[in-house]
Amino acid sequence: MARTKGMAKNIVRYLLLIVVCAWTLAPVAWMVSLSFKGPTEWYAPNLIPAQPIVDNYINLFIPTNPIGGSHFFTSITEPITKPLINSLIAAGLGTLFAVLVGFLAAYGVSRYRAGGTFIIFFTLLTRMLPGATFVAPLMVFYSSIRFIDTYMGLILLYTAVTLTYAIWLMKGFIDEIPPEWEEAALLEGASPWTVLRKVTIPLTKGGLAASALFIFILNWSEFLFALVISVTQVTTLPVQISKYVSAVGRMYGTQASLGIIATIPSVALGYLIQKHLVTGFTFGRIR
Amino acid sequence: MPKLVVKNIRKVFGTFEAVKDVSFQVEEKETLCLLGPSGCGKTTTLRIIAGLEVPTSGEVFVDGVLVNDVPPQKRQIGLVFQDYAIFPHLSVFENIAYGLRVRKMPEAQIERKVHETAALVDVEGILDVPGKKLGLSEMQRVAVGRSITLDPKLLLLDEPLSNIDAKARERMRAELGKLQKEIGIATVYVTHDQLEAMTLADRIAVMRNGLIEQIGTTSEIYDSARTLFVANFIGSPSMNQIDCEFVYDEEQAILKSGGFSLDITEFAETIRDRSKGKELVLGIRPENVSLDIEKTDPKAIEAEVQLVEPVGAKSIYHLKISGLTVLAKDYPMPEANVGVKVWATFNKDKLHLFDKKTEEAIL
């Protein structure tokens, strides 16, 4: 009696999991299917393409290739290599700086009570307004210091925006480490920098990895500010996706294929650091 | 010259005065114990000595040198934390070698030093075990080992046995005591356990509310407690306390409390000189109250047995004397059961008399 009851529970559990996964991954599945469809099928409801083609993907790299021999020519004339690199630079460096500065700031707040009791909430304030409210002032400011369409401008902006998250997340992880360990190292003669390097960082590696990934995904998929700041030079991947229109309509297939390609770095990064993620992803620890 | 001099240390956290005015000295090879209840300021004092807290006022001298402005990593002091703080991601070897590596000692020297220390604290068998896999007793030894590798001038220990269950505590207390004798560095030891203090320290400083109530050798503290608090804190079971009145005339002097009276004529003059009032507190430790079935001592006091606790070689007798409850610790008497009348003799040499708060009149 008990055994079958246990089994029934398990079946329900798995069913639930399948439903949730299907629900979450459905859009992704649709994107994959779209990316292999020709223009005739873009508006069709079938999941499996009737005539699968790889032209969408090819068109990303060789833009002059008409898709499926149809009349769909895009306005894009360059391959996506440049936007890809731009995204990597902007998101990568933005994440790197945010994590670096954020970690040091978090350490100061956590161990030395820098900034008083409310500094964390002050930094969070920047996230409480919708991004769109900053667009106009940002444009004016950036154009006055000639940061429009520059790498510097984009990276700085990404760092500034995600710094909040970095400090907030990493402070939680640093708080988890009892100060006694750092004090013990100090008493062994280590300088505060050595303590950071040899004690704090090894012990918070998981948290740092999780934070870095989270921030990377934020930066990588950021659309609004990239759209506003970039003109021709620093177009990032999300902006590029939006540019795939033609005289007749949006090129959903090509957009889908670019979308799929765009997910690769995030997924790869996650895979590489998954060992650390297991220890770091219990975000509930942040009190 | 004393290894450690602590002078008028005061520490305030916001509005809370954790340490009010603490001064003491520790000589070379001496172990001083800071003993007191939770919240009395002993750990804060220790952290100030180590350099992990900055005193609001006061000075700390290590080996004659003022170290107030010297950061903890430069003070050459070893500290063993309450939870040992063994680096979990490093092996026992690396934990002990930590300080040596920081100083970039040559590898061969590190090997030698670590093995020396490991032999001293008996962890040679587990040098490769990672920190997070150690048992408590092993962690304690590694922690002590780690703190002594750099030949510190002073060793500090913060309640190192408080996390351990009672049975293991006995054993580790003995180990720690042995280690201290072998290593021979000036040591300051913080604890709230008076038994630990009595067994491990050369001198004890009893602290309460940020002040040192009394500082002296173990026997001084035990036999000549200067305040009621100190007398109460040390000794298990606690000292008997009887509120009484000092009554005297030309011929004799007694301490009176209800129906109870104790003849203390021989101390009358001393008490008269030293006491401020007539309200005194008589203190006598249970082991200084001896019992007999018959009234062999003419001055013995009648008592009724209320409870017998057989706790080992001697038993603890809960007695009722003229309405007062007095504890006595004496060899077990098979006839002395509950309800039986016995005769109690107070050892006059071991009497404590306190003014009704602080002070002690005689030993």
Q: Could you read off the pLDDT of B308-356 as tens digits, one per residue? A: 888 888 888 888 888 788 888 888 887 877 888 888 888 877 888 887 7
Q: Is A189's CB within 8 Å of B146's CB? A: no
Q: Could you read off the pLDDT of B16-72 as tens digits, one per residue? A: 888 999 999 998 888 999 999 988 889 999 999 998 888 999 999 998 889 888 888
Does B216 lie in the same domain as B110? yes
Beta carbons within 8 Å of B43's beta carbon, 6+ residues apart:
B158, B159, B190
Reported as half-sphere exposure (CB side, CA atoms, 13 A), residue A112 has a value of 8
ipTM of the predicted assembly exceeds 0.90: no
> Does position A250 have pLDDT exceeding 50, yes or no?
yes
8 Å CB contact between A191 and A182: no
**Partners of residue A185 in chain B, C-beta under 8 Å:** 87, 98, 102
First to last CA, chain B: 32
CATH of the domain at A233: 1.10.3720.10
Does B191 lie in the same domain as B218? yes
Q: Which of B203, B233, B263 is the last residue of a domain?
A: B233
- Stronger pLDDT, A89 or B169, i.e. the higher one: A89
Q: Which amino acid is at B53?
A: E
Q: What is the structure's pLDDT at A285?
A: 39
CB distance from A199 to chain B under 8 Å? yes
Q: Which of B183, B202, B233 is the last residue of a domain?
A: B233
Q: What is the structure's pLDDT at B99?
A: 84
- Stronger pLDDT, B268 or B240, i.e. the higher one: B240
- Asked if residue A49 is part of any domain, the answer here is no
Does B104 lie in the same domain as B206? yes
Does B178 lie in the same domain as B61? yes
- For the ranges A2-16, A20-34, A138-152, B274-288, which has the lowest average pLDDT? B274-288
8 Å CB contact between B246 and B280: yes
Cis peptide before B37 (omega within 30 of 0): no
> Does position A18 have pLDDT exceeding 90, yes or no?
yes
Strand partners, B34: B190, B205
Query: What is the domain range of residue B168?
Result: 4-233
C-alpha distances in angstroms, A51 versus A33, A41, A66?
11, 9, 16
With CA atoms as reference, report the closest residue to B172 among B160, B184, B189, B186. B160
Percentage of chain B modeled with pLDDT above 70: 97
Q: How far apart are CA B122 and CA A109, in angstroms?
A: 40
**Partners of residue B153 in chain A, C-beta under 8 Å:** none
Query: What is the domain range of residue A25?
Result: 1-34
**A287 — pLDDT class (breaks 50, 70, 90):** very low
Q: Which B residues, 315 through 334, put their C-beta within 8 Å of a C-beta on chain A?
A: none
Does B259 lie in the same domain as B216? no
Q: Which amino acid is at B287?
A: E
Other C-beta atoms lying within 10 Å of the C-beta of residue A238:
19
Does A165 lie in the same domain as A90? yes
Does A13 lie in the same domain as A120? no
The residue to which tokens 């008996």 are assigned: B122
Q: What is the structure's pLDDT at A65?
A: 61
Pick A187's closest partner by Cβ from B77, B83, B89.
B77
With CA atoms as reference, report the closest residue to B142 among B73, B76, B94. B94
Q: Is A187's CB within 8 Å of B98's CB? A: no
CB distance from A204 to chain B under 8 Å? no
Does the model's pTM come out above 0.90?
A: no
Question: Chain B closest CA to A194's CA: distance in Å?
Answer: 8
Q: How far apart are CA A172 and CA A181, in angstroms?
A: 17
Q: Is B83's CB within 8 Å of A187's CB? A: no
Please count the structural domains in chain A: 2
With CA atoms as reference, report the closest residue to B241 among B251, B252, B229, B253. B229
- Asked if residue A66 is part of any domain, the answer here is no
Other C-beta atoms lying within 10 Å of the C-beta of residue A157:
22
Does A164 lie in the same domain as A109? yes
Pick B83's closest partner by Cβ from A180, A194, A203.
A180
Q: Is B73's CB within 8 Å of A203's CB? A: no
- Asked if residue B301 is part of any domain, the answer here is yes
Q: Which of B233, B250, B274 is the last residue of a domain?
A: B233
Q: State the average pLDDT for chain B.
A: 84
Does B147 lie in the same domain as B255? no
Two tokens, residue A181: 């360990």
First to last CA, chain A: 43
